[in-house]
Structure 1
Amino acid sequence: MDLQNITIKSILNEKSSSVYFVEDSDTVITAVRLMNKEKIGSVMVVSKNQYVGIFTERDVLNRVVSPRLNTKKTLVSEVMTKNFSSIDVSLTLQETLHIMTKNRIRHLPVFQNTRLLGMVSIGDVTRKLLEINQNEANSLRDYLFTSYSG
């Protein structure tokens, strides 16, 4: 199967469309507790109904834990990624993988115009690639080992 024909929409269709949010005025501990509770690696950050950033597990490690900031006093707005990357729902799996790999990004918000549709993680992308490879291997195995009845 050609990776150029598989869009991110197919990944979103197979997973929960839930995207979790925190306010930019929330504390880091609030965001981390939400991420732990929901077993997710990132949350979108909003302010006045606008997306102002993304807060990820990498932000926790690099911007909170490493400098030893107080998670109960530090605001998400102080440590979030402000200039976050996002993708359009029409992008292909191959294009998305390229963006994630090139920019070392693990979580990408997926938009259709200005509407947030979901979040795609590197795990989602690799699971889809594994599924595609497994399906191709099964098809090839079936082709090679099915007895010819002609």
Structure 2
Amino acid sequence: MQQVKHLLEGKGKAVYAVAPDASVYEAIQQMAEKNVGALVVIKGSELVGIVSERDYARKVILKDRSSRDTPVAEIMTASVITVASDATVDECMRLCTDGRLRHLPVLDGTRLVGVVSIGDLVKAVISEQRETINQLESYITS
């Protein structure tokens, strides 16, 4: 089973982040520019949360708050579930499914080294299944 560090090698290790005191508007603007659904929230060099489009919809729009006046810290998820870079795709899929998560920050020790999304994980599973099917077809026809 493929490990998260292999996924990051393939997709790149770019991490898009926002400060907790930035406005929600700035965060949403950055998500749109980077075409991502979530940003990690970093204070100094420490991971302090994650903010997603879901947080925006539920905690700003539905509560009729101003995205320009609301700091990210007020809507972010502070209890972030993370994975180590040696975690398997299978373990990450289980975490995402059980926790209803779409994004998992990846740590190497205490250092943030990337973020994997449920889309990244699904692509990896499909790729692995395709490879298994090809091997089985090759075995059967030989």
TM range (shorter): over 0.9
Name the counterpart of 2:28: 32
- Count of residues paired in the alignment: 142
Q: Detail structure 1 runs of 4+ shifted over 3 Å in the superposition.
A: none
2:116 paired with 1:120: yes
Partner of 1:83, secondary structure, is coil
Give, in whole Å, the separation in 1 of the partners of 2:135 and 2:125. Answer: 15
Please list the CA deviations of residues 21-71 of structure 1 after superposition, one character each: whole Å capped at 9, or x if unmatched: 111111011000100100011111122332211111211121112112111
2:137 paired with 1:136: no
The structure 2 residue matched to 1:21, chosen from 17, 39, 53, is: 17
Name the counterpart of 1:102: 98
TM-score w.r.t. length of structure 2: 0.94
Counterpart of 2:115, as a letter, is M
CA RMSD, 1 decimal: 1.2
Please, which runs of 5 or more residues in structure 1 have no aligned partner? none
Which structure would you say has the larger Rg?
1
Please, which runs of 5 or more residues in structure 2 have no aligned partner? none
Give, in whole Å, the separation in 1 of the partners of 2:53 and 2:60. Answer: 10
Give, in whole Å, the separation in 1 of the partners of 2:16 and 2:124. Answer: 22
2:70 paired with 1:74: yes
The structure 1 residue matched to 2:46, chosen from 50, 75, 78, is: 50
Name the counterpart of 1:60: 56
Identity across the alignment (%) = 31
Please list the CA deviations of residues 87-119 of structure 1 after superposition, one character each: whole Å capped at 9, or x if unmatched: 111111111111111111110000010111100
